Amino acid sequence: MIDLVQDDQGWIAYIADVSGHGVAPGVVMGMVKSAARMRLASCKTDVGLLESLNSVPYPITKPEMFVTFAYLAWNGERLEYSLAGHPPHLALPCCHEGDLRSRRLQPAVGNV
């Protein structure tokens, strides 16, 4: 799933992948997208997004099911990114020190 949420102050683009195939992972994907949109509509910031999303699938999924989730967020001054579920495969250079802030690697959403 790929989604973009934008307002006057900036945007956040995210991509997610639920483990497995079939109806159950499809339902979880819909829940993750709804939870992300509701969280971003109410908070307008990416701070705490992964922690909030983790509370959605964790109580209702099987132990082997998880969601890999990554995002880029632009607030008009700074580009931030975070990744949950896989080690980073991409190093993003920046022109000026401090222009790009990364958050620490998170465990997969719904798997903690």
- For 7-59, what is each residue's pLDDT tens digit? 888 999 999 998 888 998 899 899 889 989 988 888 767 777 888 888 887 78
Instruction: Provide the token pair at 69.
Output: 């989730």
- For 1-21, what is each residue's pLDDT tens digit? 999 999 888 999 999 998 888
How far are the Cα atoms of 40, 93, 100, 101, 104 from residue 97, in angstroms, in the given order? 27, 10, 8, 10, 18
How far are the Cα atoms of 20, 57, 61, 98 from residue 27, in angstroms, in the given order? 11, 10, 10, 39
- pLDDT, residue 2, reads 93
Domains of the chain and CATH, by start = 2-102 (3.60.40.10)
- For 64-104, what is each residue's pLDDT tens digit? 888 888 899 998 888 888 888 755 555 555 554 444 444 44
